[in-house]
A and B are shown apart, each in its own frame.
Chain A
Amino acid sequence: MKLQKILDTLTASDIQFVIIGGVALNIHGSPRVTFDSDLAIKTIDIDRVIEVLIAAGLEMVIGVNENSHPLLTTDTGNAIDFAEKSRWGFLKFVSESFELDVIYEIPVPFAVLFRDSRKIMAGRTEVRVASIEHIRVMKEKAKGSHDDEKRDIDLMDLKFIEKKIREGNDDT
């Protein structure tokens, strides 16, 4: 499973999304590679995203056990049921070689995130990448809830973002 295929699949299904998180930062020029990819979507598209991504071969996390290990499903009904009851604010999909977080509760209204995003070509698919300013807002929010290790990474990312904004060099 590859990110390109996921982006192609969501686009072909007419689902609007914006690339956020570490991959968005990479596209803005940060050299820190993360293991998971993050996309923001509209809340109204949650069910369709679940259907499309499970059909594409991903498993969805529908909880964690006492050791924080994920409970997975490929059953669309179970996954939608979990999403309706969950207060996580995001969906997590995994495969053997891929991790994807699909976030629907973000500190910026999706319409604003989408409006200010940059269009880029990923293969033959036009996709949207969050603006550096909006990545900063999301990083600031996330920083407050992360453990020490993740907070260090957040601070490193914020340093990169601040430099980028100071330089006025949003070069996607």
Chain B
Amino acid sequence: MALNRQAARIMKSIDIRIQRTPDELIDINHNQVEFLYSIRGNEAFLKHVADDFLRKKRNHETAKNS
């Protein structure tokens, strides 16, 4: 039990650096946004989420094409 408590205390403190391409990051964001829409529908807060995602995507496309 003491071991469990110690492990819980350091919950997710392991440093794992996954290298992602910008395309992969956009895909991950897109998946999250799509999932949230499927659950919460077109609610006001999701507009902020979607706007942020679209802004990142536009920046990425611009950088890729320049």
Contacts and interface: CB of A to CB of B under 8 A. Distances in A.
Interface in A18-45: 23, 26-27, 29-31, 33-35, 37
Contacts of A61: 16
Contact of B36 (A26, A64, A94): A26
A166 interface: no
Interface stretch (A49-57, A73-81, A100-108): A100-108
Contacts, number: 108
Contacts of B27: 96-97
Majority DSSP secondary structure for residues of B touching A: helix
Question: Interface range on chain A: under 10, 10 to 19, 20 to 34, or 35 or more?
Answer: 35 or more
B35 A3 contact: yes
B51 to A, nearest CB: 9
A46 to B, nearest CB: 13
Nearest to A138: B11
Name the 10 nearest CB pairs between A and B, nearest first.
A145-B13, A97-B27, A31-B48, A89-B7, A105-B7, A68-B17, A107-B8, A68-B15, A3-B35, A145-B10
